[in-house]
Chain A
Amino acid sequence: MNGQHKRCVQVLNEALHEVFAERADVYLLGEDILDPYGGAFKVSQGLSDAYPGRVLTTPISEASLFGVAAGMALRGQRPILEIMFGDFIALGLDQIVNGIAKFREMYDDQVTVPLVVRTPMGGRRGYGPTHSQSLEKLLLGVPNIVVVAASECHDLRELVVAVVEDERPVFLIENKLMYGRPNRRPEHGHIGELAVRESGALYPALTFSGTDFSEGTATIVTYGGMVPVVLDAVTELILEHEIFCEVVALSQLLPIELEPVLESVARTGALVTAEEGTLTGGFGAEIAARVQEAAWSDLRGPVQRVAARDGIIPSARALEDAMLPSAHDVVEAIVALEAVRS
């Protein structure tokens, strides 16, 4: 499919080369990022050969590395911290919550902390309970940071440039399966059969429609690695059930960006949230709460949430599949919504 599109890992890698060329204050820190290895997922390949003084391969010390990057940012540099697996942000939560997120406000705006943390989340590769999670929901309750989720349909180059230029601490959530897939950008306002609108925000939202935004049964809001899963579900809903849904694929998860969701819900009157993280206390819960506050009268039924079960992500393929949300789960949520309403 779409052989002319570069793979996401290549787009991200080229964008990093671009920001390194543009700005002498950009540094990359992380584990195993030196060439020829170039990082566990190869996003950082070629950087250490091109910029040897600005790429620092580190000890396996995530808890400290967040702080080291914060110290660099406080002193005017632009560190990019590559965390090999998103699961490992748990080691850095003290630095994130009590330092990175607080310095600017608690020091009364005397400082900024313009650092970027890049990390892959997501399962479906059989890596098991501690290398497969989608833990970005832990970050969504932390004020004063920015959480950006990359998806294969977003302009990944633009995202990388924007996160590096941002004066705020930004977490760029990548996705393991996304790396190897083509970066599918809209052509003539379409990705595949679906019409696409892109918001003009710094971290844009993409809204997809199978009816050119004229009608829709429900809105599905999602992000990151769930975007292709949801798009598959939308295709199935059209072909198998003749149900037309809009999809809002956010890239800015925090601060919560509600406007594209509300715009779509105003057209469709129903909402399903879809995320790969566990259900309780997640992205969908926050979105659902806010949408019912802001658009109660637009909703014809209760907001449905699709997410991972509240448990571990097992290693065995069939067990992992049973744990994580699938296109079928999304279809079922929409069909259930229809049943409630009819």
Chain B
Amino acid sequence: MPTLYERMFFIRRFEESLLDLFAQGKLVGTTHTYIGQEANAVGIIDHLEPERDVIFSNHRCHGHYLAFTDDDFGLLCEVMGKAPGVCGGKGGSQHLCKGNFYSNGVLGSIVPVATGIALAEKQKGTGAVSTVFLGDGTLGEGVTYESLNIASLWKLPVFFVVENNHYAQSTPIELELAGSITARAEAFGVETGELATTDVEEIHDTAGRALARIRETGEPYFLVLDTYRYSPHSKGDDNRDPAEIEKRRERDPLTVAGARLGEEERRDIEEGCERRLSETIAAAEDAPAATPEAA
């Protein structure tokens, strides 16, 4: 079993590699990197069962995808427009599907679908939890609140995870969000939790308790994680104060988790990740491009 640190480090390096590949002109389209938010995906998804539980993620989905499926080759090929991509190159970075993992690119749009998934799984009696990843920006979308109402009313096992990275693309939270985030869910009678940390162990503990509550009650839970992305919203679109980013980097989740490891252990993990990533990139570069099917 890879450690939480190993998974976080691999996601970090995967995302950094995507930016490198863009810079080299080997990628087209877009990406929304997860750099800085890795502890959220890894801490939460470690509790999920990929054969049973379901995730619906958003435009910033690579971290969630890798933590849930461990399918770096399928993801990289997909982003590179290669035939072995997990969606054959049709979806690209934001539109992934593999097993019980889905993502889509319109903010808020995914929340009702995740709610419907929870309804179906409840009716089928599978015991699955439907986890949906939101951000502070998504809280501006009205269907989020319709879905909170429905999930609470119908007692559906939806795990709403709000990764509040304080920016809706380039717009700071002060300009896009009024009032309390947790009070939004509480108003619908949904149990909430809140955590401001980059420590994956703390997130892991809190997520474990939240998921235990969902599995015990069958009802929704709304977890707000205070987080931050160090990289631009997409590739080069960043107007934030560099000093603000540097300040946040002092609490880099990799530094926090890495400090618990011995120097040699940490280096072994990182070298292992680098080797795997190099092999994946080489294999993806060699893979055939996606082409239109013969008519």
- Tell me the dominant secondary structure on chain A's binding face: helix
Do A63 and B146 contact each other (CB < 8 Å), given the known contacts A94-B106, A107-B91, A111-B97? Answer: yes
Option from A66, A72, A98 in Cβ contact (under 8 Å) with B119: A72
Known: A68-B150, A95-B109, A99-B104. A75 touches B117 (CB 8 A): yes
The 0/1 profile, CB within 8 Å of B marked 1, for residues 17-58 of chain A is 000000000010000000000000000000000000100101
> Once the chains bind, are A67 and B149 in contact (CB under 8 Å)?
no
Contact flags B38-65 to A (C-beta < 8 A → 1, else 0): 0000000000000000101000000000
> A167 in the interface, Cβ–Cβ < 8 Å?
no
- Let me know if A110 is at the binding interface, CB within 8 A: yes
In the complex, what distance in Å separates the CA atom of A296 from the CA atom of B196?
A: 69
- A contact residues around B117 at 8 Å (CB): 71-72, 74-75
Residues A75 and B87 in contact, CB atoms below 8 Å apart = no
Within 8 A of A (CB), among B3-30: none
Asked if A187 is at the interface (CB within 8 A of a chain B CB), the reply is: no
Contacts of A61 in B (CB 8 A): 143, 146, 149-150
- Measured between beta carbons, the chain A residues less than 8 angstroms from B146 are 59, 61, 63-64
**Considering the chains assembled together, what is the distance between the CA atoms of A102 and B109 in angstroms?**
13
User: Within the assembled complex, what's the spacing in Å between the Cα atoms of A271 and B146?
Assistant: 46
Q: Does the CB pair B120–A106 fall under 8 Å?
A: no
Q: Which residues of A contact B90 (CB under 8 A)?
A: 105-108
Contact in complex: A98, B109 (CB < 8 Å) = yes
Q: How far is the CB of A112 from chain B (nearest CB, A)?
A: 12
Given contacts A75-B120, A77-B123, A98-B104, contact A67 B91 (CB under 8 A): no
In the complex, whether A281 has a CB less than 8 A from a CB of chain B is no
Cβ-defined contact, B109 with A94, below 8 A: yes
B98: which A residues are within 8 A, CB to CB? 110
Q: Mark B75-116, 1 if CB is under 8 A from A, else 0.
A: 000000000001110110001111000101110011111111
Does B118 sit at the interface, judged by CB under 8 A? yes
Q: Are A67 and B97 in contact (CB under 8 A)?
A: no
B88 near A108 with CB under 8 A, answer: yes
- Nearest CB in chain A: distance from B57 CB, A: 13
Are the C-beta atoms of B106 and A68 separated by less than 8 Å? no
Contacts of A106 in B (CB 8 A): 87, 90-91, 95, 97
A117 CB-CB contact with B under 8 Å: no
* B195 at interface by CB-CB < 8 Å: no
Q: Is the CB of B120 within 8 A of A67?
A: no
Q: Which residues of chain A come closer than 8 Å to B130, judged between CB atoms?
A: 71
Residues of B within 8 A of A (CB): 54, 56, 86-88, 90-91, 95-98, 102, 104-106, 109-121, 123-124, 130, 142-143, 146-147, 149-150, 153-154
What are 8 sample pairs from A and B whose C-beta atoms fall under 8 A apart? A73-B116, A75-B54, A75-B117, A95-B109, A99-B106, A99-B113, A102-B104, A106-B90
13 extra interchain contacts, Cβ-Cβ under 8 A, other than A71-B120, A76-B120, A98-B109? A59-B150, A63-B142, A67-B110, A72-B116, A74-B102, A74-B120, A95-B109, A95-B113, A98-B105, A103-B102, A106-B87, A107-B96, A111-B97
